[in-house]
Amino acid sequence: MAQEVRGVIAGGKDEPVRTETILVPDPGPGEAVVEVRACGVCHTDLHYRQGGINDEFPFLLGHEAAGWVESVGEGVTEVVPGDFVILNWRAVCGQCRACRRGRPWYCFDTHNARQPMTLKDGTPLSPALGIGAFAEKTLVAAGQCTKVDAEVSPAVAGLLGCGVMAGIGAAINTGGVGRGDSVAVIGCGGVGDAAVAGARLAGAARIIAVDIDDRKLETALKIGATHSVNSRREDPVEAIRGLTGGFGADVVIEAVGRPETYEQAFYARDLAGTVVLVGVPTPEMKLELPLLDVFGRGGSLKSSWYGDCLPSRDFPMLIDLHRQGRLDLGAFVTETIGLDDVEQAFERMHAGDVLRSVVVF
Ligand code: APR
Ligand code: ZN
Ligand code: ZN
Instruction: Encode pLDDT of 318-342 as tens digits.
Output: 999 999 999 999 999 999 999 999 9
Q: Are 275 and 137 in contact (CB under 8 A)?
A: no
Among all bound ligands, the one having the nearest atom to the CA of 101 is 3
Distance 290 CA to ligand 2 centre (A): 34
Beta bridge partners of 126: 59
Count of CB atoms situated within 10 Å of the CB of 232? 10
| Res. 297 pLDDT band, cuts 50 70 90 | confident
The 3-class secondary structure across 111-150, one letter per residue, is: ECCCCCCEECCCCECEEHHHCCCCECEEEEEHHHEEECCC
Distance CA 341, CA 4 (A): 20
DSSP string computed for 190-245: HHHHHHHHHHHHTT-SEEEEEES-HHHHHHHHHHT-SEEEETTTS-HHHHHHHHTT
Distance CA 332, CA 65 (A): 14
Class of domain 167-304: alpha beta
DSSP 172: I
- Tell me what the mean pLDDT of segment 43-53 comes to: 94
Helix runs in 269-310, H state only: 291-296
352 φ, ψ to 5°?
A: 80, 20
Q: State yes or no: pLDDT of 207 exceeds 90.
A: yes
Q: Are 77 and 30 in contact (CB under 8 A)?
A: no
Q: State yes or no: pLDDT of 101 exceeds 90.
A: yes
Q: Which CATH architecture has domain 3-161+328-360?
A: Alpha-Beta Complex (3.90)
Q: Is the shortest distance between the CB of 192 and ligand 1 below 6 Å?
A: yes
Distance CA 341, CA 345 (A): 6
Instruction: Encode pLDDT of 141-152 as tens digits.
Output: 999 999 999 999
| Threshold 0.90, pTM exceeds | yes
Domain boundaries, the chain: 3-161+328-360, 167-304
Which of left, alpha, beta for 160 (phi over 0: left; psi -120 to 50: alpha)?
A: alpha
- Tell me what the mean pLDDT of segment 105-115 comes to: 91
Distance 63 CA to ligand 2 centre (A): 6
| Percentage above 90 pLDDT, the chain | 94
Distance 206 CA to ligand 2 centre (A): 28
Residues near ion ligand 2 (Cβ under 5 Å) = 42, 44, 162
- Burial grade of 52 (CB within 10 A; 0-12, 13-18, 19 or more): middle
Give the nearest ligand 1 atom to 216 CA.
Answer: 15
pLDDT of residue 298: 85
pLDDT of residue 3: 98
Average pLDDT score over the chain: 96
| Res. 175 pLDDT band, cuts 50 70 90 | very high
Q: Is the shortest distance between the CB of 261 and ligand 1 below 6 Å?
A: yes
Instruction: Encode pLDDT of 60-81 as tens digits.
Output: 999 999 999 999 999 999 999 9
Give the nearest ligand 1 atom to 166 CA.
Answer: 30
Q: State yes or no: pLDDT of 90 exceeds 90.
A: no
Distance CA 24, CA 209 (A): 43
Q: State yes or no: pLDDT of 160 exceeds 90.
A: yes
- Tell me what the mean pLDDT of segment 224-232 comes to: 98
pLDDT of residue 189: 95
Q: State yes or no: pLDDT of 281 exceeds 90.
A: yes
What is the greatest pairwise CA distance in the chain?
65
- The β-bridge relationship of strands 64-72 and 31-40 is antiparallel
Give the nearest ligand 1 atom to 42 CA.
Answer: 25
Instruction: Encode pLDDT of 229-271 as tens digits.
Output: 999 999 999 999 999 999 999 999 999 999 999 999 999 999 9
Distance 317 CA to ligand 2 centre (A): 20
Distance 106 CA to ligand 3 centre (A): 7
The ipTM estimated for the assembled molecules is: 0.98
Distance 45 CA to ligand 1 centre (A): 15
Q: Is the shortest distance between the CB of 158 and ligand 1 below 6 Å?
A: no
Distance CA 156, CA 336 (A): 10
Q: Is the shortest distance between the CB of 257 and ligand 1 below 6 Å?
A: yes
Among all bound ligands, the one having the nearest atom to the CA of 348 is 1
183 φ, ψ to 5°?
A: -130, 135
Distance 187 CA to ligand 1 centre (A): 5
Q: Identify the CA nearest to 276 among candidates 260, 297, 259, 262.
A: 262
Q: Identify the CA nearest to 303 among candidates 260, 259, 261, 253.
A: 253
